């Protein structure tokens, strides 16, 4: 028996089958099917909500079927369904939510609603990952959730399967770290989402070639990245290039070669530097005995490397496939909720609605 998890909050249509892990604070993933819409949105330089919703409608059934087939089970083997309720794009969320309601109702099995951020945080409890075995010796655990929409710090004081509370310490006043990566990449004409391209191109660049601001330098845990893109825009102009403008294709006017690599490395160095500084401050303030990074930006190679070099406590990070959006993490959060009885009855589930923020 197993739980089917569904994630459609943004531009990944994903379904996973999970069940109890070998240890009672972990979850086993049997399948994790992901259809990414990145290619559909690329021409627009960002996510188009209408396109996202329509693509979820097209891909939902194939993705569910793939998840069940890879796990070697059928609908009749399911004991519960977990689905992302929010935050995210409303039209996209409603595709997964409506389908999950219909399936749970018709199969007469419980539905569990999962918060997307809680899903990212629970990616830490998926078993058999390379660098992600958290034990009570690592508590309190400082967790940094860095994604396209969030830059949050949390403190975790207990492990599942009991009710866990990620106590929020801080967030970003405006843009998230992932947005700083993506908007900087867009200015330089790199494809959406730009974080992974900046990461890749940075390997041949000089991180000290250009100086970019490290926002909110004070002794507080808040982040702010909204001014960062303006600094990148100004630097690109100052170097004599024309920043990418939607619709205008002038590749020869965009930074290329070594200058592009130096810009990428310097941008990444500044964003990672800001994250690491706040994380170090939070460790000092909380006395954390372990650090975990989750969310799309936690896949960044310089962030992982710098933390491993600088932080004196154990550093945990999910496997890359569980960093960016996926249904397995929704299944991890949903599984423990299910086991704690935090489920919606057939009567309650019909009135469940999505939330955007």
- Interface residues with ligand KG4 (CB under 6 A)? 10, 147-149, 178, 181-182, 193-196, 199, 295-297, 299-300, 324-325
The binder of 193, among Zn ion, ligand KG4, none, by C-beta within 5 to 8 A per type, is: ligand KG4
Residue 144 CA, distance from chain mean position: 11
Which of 10/99 has CB closer to ligand KG4? 10
Task: Mark the segment that binds Zn ion (CB under 5 A) among 139-147, 200-208, 228-236, 273-281.
Answer: 139-147
Long-range contacts of 181-186 (CB under 8 A, 24+ apart): 181/267, 181/268, 181/271, 181/297, 182/46, 182/148, 183/228, 183/229, 183/232, 184/228, 184/229, 184/232, 184/267, 186/45, 186/46, 186/244
Residue 2 CA, distance from chain mean position: 24
> Which phi and psi angles does 255 have, rounded to 5°?
-60, 140
User: Can you tell me which of 8, 26, 138, 147 binds Zn ion, judged by CB under 5 A?
Assistant: 147
Give the separation between CA 62 and CA 201, rounded to whole angstroms.
Answer: 34
Give me the 75-114 binding string for Zn ion, x by CB under 5 A, dash otherwise: ----------------------------------------
Which of 9/266 has CB closer to Zn ion? 9
The binder of 266, among Zn ion, ligand KG4, none, by C-beta within 5 to 8 A per type, is: none
The two structure tokens encoding residue 219:
């002794």
Min. distance of Cβ 265 from ligand KG4 in angstroms? Answer: 12
> Which phi and psi angles does 267 have, rounded to 5°?
-65, -50
Which of 20/233 has CB closer to ligand KG4? 233
Contact (CB, 8 A) for 266 and 302:
no
Min. distance of Cβ 250 from ligand KG4 in angstroms? Answer: 24
The binder of 299, among Zn ion, ligand KG4, none, by C-beta within 5 to 8 A per type, is: ligand KG4
Residue 85 CA, distance from chain mean position: 15
Which of 199/325 has CB closer to Zn ion? 325
The binder of 103, among ligand KG4, Zn ion, none, by C-beta within 5 to 8 A per type, is: none
Which of 302/325 has CB closer to Zn ion? 325
Min. distance of Cβ 346 from ligand KG4 in angstroms? Answer: 30
- Residues in contact with 137: Cβ distance below 8 Å, sequence separation at least 6, in sequence order: 289, 290
Q: How many residues bind Zn ion (CB under 5 A)?
A: 2
The two structure tokens encoding residue 210:
């250009």
- By CB under 5 A, the residues from 319 to 348 that bind Zn ion are 325
Residues of the shown chain interacting with Zn ion in the complex, contacts defined by CB under 5 A: 147, 325
């Amino acid at each position: 028996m197993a739980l089917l998890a569904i994630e459609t909050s943004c531009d990944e249509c994903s379904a996973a089958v999970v069940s109890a892990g070998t240890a009672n604070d972990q979850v086993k993933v049997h399948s994790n099917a992901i259809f990414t819409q990145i290619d559909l949105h690329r021409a627009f330089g960002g996510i188009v909500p209408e396109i996202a919703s329509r693509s979820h409608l097209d891909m939902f059934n194939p993705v569910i079927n793939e998840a069940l087939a890879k796990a070697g089970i059928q609908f009749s083997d399911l004991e519960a369904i977990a689905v992302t309720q929010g935050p995210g794009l409303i039209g996209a969320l409603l595709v997964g939510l409506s389908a999950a309601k219909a399936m749970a109702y018709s199969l007469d099995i419980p539905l569990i609603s999962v918060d997307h951020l809680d899903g990212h945080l629970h990616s830490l409890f998926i078993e058999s990952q390379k660098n992600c075995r958290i034990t009570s010796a690592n508590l309190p655990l400082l967790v940094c959730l860095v994604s396209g929409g969030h830059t949050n710090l949390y403190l975790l004081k207990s492990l599942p399967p009991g009710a866990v509370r990620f106590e929020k310490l801080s967030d970003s006043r405006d843009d998230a770290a992932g947005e700083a990566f993506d908007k900087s990449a867009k200015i330089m004409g790199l494809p959406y989402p730009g974080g992974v391209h900046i990461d890749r191109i940075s390997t041949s660049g000089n991180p000290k070639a250009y100086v970019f601001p490290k926002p909110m330098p004070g002794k507080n845990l808040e982040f702010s990245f909204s001014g960062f893109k303006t600094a990148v825009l100004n630097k690109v102009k100052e170097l004599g290039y024309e920043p990418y403008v939607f619709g205008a294709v002038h590749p020869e006017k965009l930074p290329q070669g070594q200058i592009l690599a130096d810009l990428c490395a310097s941008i990444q160095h500044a964003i990672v530097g800001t994250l690491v500084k706040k994380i170090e401050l939070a460790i000092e303030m909380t006395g954390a005995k372990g650090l975990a990074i989750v969310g799309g930006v936690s896949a960044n190679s310089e962030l992982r490397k710098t933390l491993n070099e600088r932080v004196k406590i154990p550093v945990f990070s999910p496997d890359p496939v569980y960093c960016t959006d996926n249904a397995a993490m929704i299944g991890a959060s949903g599984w423990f909720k299910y086991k704690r009885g935090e489920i919606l009855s057939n009567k309650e589930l019909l009135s469940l609605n999505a939330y955007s923020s």
